Structure 1
Amino acid sequence: MGSLNGPAPEPGSAPDVVRSWDARADLYLRLFRHEWDSKPFDQAVLAEFAGRVGAGGRVCDAGCGPCGQVTAMLAGHGLDVLGIDLSPRCVELARREKPGCRFEVRDQQDVGRAAAPGVLLDGLVSYYSLHDRPKSELPATLAAWSAAIRPGGQLLIVAKEGTGDGVVDDPLGTELRVYWAEFTEWELHSAAEDAAFRVDDITVREAYADEIRTRRIYLSATRLPDSGTA
Structure 2
Amino acid sequence: MFENDRVAAAYDDLAELYAEFTLDALTARPFDRVLIDAFAELAAGTGLPVVDAGCGPGYVTAHLAGLGLAVSGVDISAELLAIARGRYPDLRFEQKSWDALDAGTGELGGVLAWYSLIHTAPERIPLALEEFHRVLAPGGAFLTGFQAADPGHDVQPFDHRVTLAYRWAPEHFATVVAAAGFRVVAVVTCPEAPGLRFPQGYVLAAKAEDRTAD
Structure-2-length-normalised TM-score: 0.89
Report the equivalent of 2:157: 165
Counterparts of 1:93-104 in structure 2 under 5 Å? Answer: 93-104=83-94
Give, in whole Å, the separation in 1 of the partners of 2:10 and 2:128.
20
Shift of 1:164: 2.1
Secondary structure at the counterpart of residue 142 of structure 1: helix
Give, in whole Å, the separation in 2 of the partners of 1:142 and 1:165.
20
- Verify the 8 A CA contact 2:184 2:204 in the aligned structure 1: yes
Does 2:73 match 1:86? no
Give, in whole Å, the separation in 2 of the partners of 1:146 and 1:227.
10
Give, in whole Å, the separation in 2 of the partners of 1:148 and 1:165.
29
Give, in whole Å, the separation in 2 of the partners of 1:57 and 1:48.
16
Query: Which entry has the higher C-alpha Rg, 1 or 2?
Result: 1
Counterparts of 1:37-186 in structure 2 under 5 Å? Answer: 37-54=27-44, 56-66=47-57, 68-111=58-101, 113-114=102-103, 120-162=107-149, 163-165=155-157, 168=159, 170-171=160-161, 178-186=163-171
Shift of 1:187: 2.5
Report the equivalent of 1:14: 4
Secondary structure at the counterpart of residue 83 of structure 2: helix
Q: Which residue of 187, 190, 195 maps to 1:205?
A: 190
Aligned residues: 207
Q: Which runs of 5+ in 2 are unaligned?
A: 150-154
Secondary structure at the counterpart of residue 161 of structure 2: coil
- Verify the 8 A CA contact 2:55 2:73 in the aligned structure 1: yes
Does 2:209 match 1:222? no
Give, in whole Å, the separation in 2 of the partners of 1:64 and 1:206.
24
Shift of 1:171: 1.9
> What does the per-residue CA deviation read over 1:15-57, in whole Å, with 9 as the maximum and x for residues that have no partner?
1111111111111012221222222111121112111122753
Aligned-pair Cα RMSD in Å? 2.0
Letter aligned with residue 80 of structure 2: C
Return closer, same or farther for 1:210/1:90 CA change in 2, 3 Å cut-off. same
Shift of 1:118: 6.1
Report the equivalent of 1:190: 175
- Verify the 8 A CA contact 1:133 1:179 in the aligned structure 2: no
Give, in whole Å, the separation in 2 of the partners of 1:183 and 1:40.
22
> What does the per-residue CA deviation read over 1:82-131, in whole Å, with 9 as the maximum and x for residues that have no partner?
111011111111111122211110001222x14xx566111111110011
Shift of 1:207: 2.8
- Verify the 8 A CA contact 1:85 1:104 in the aligned structure 2: yes
Q: Which residue of 20, 42, 47 maps to 1:30?
A: 20
Shift of 1:186: 2.9
What is the aligned-residue identity percentage?
28
Give, in whole Å, the separation in 1 of the partners of 2:116 and 2:31.
19
- Verify the 8 A CA contact 1:63 1:86 in the aligned structure 2: yes
Letter aligned with residue 130 of structure 1: L
Greater share of residues in helix: 2
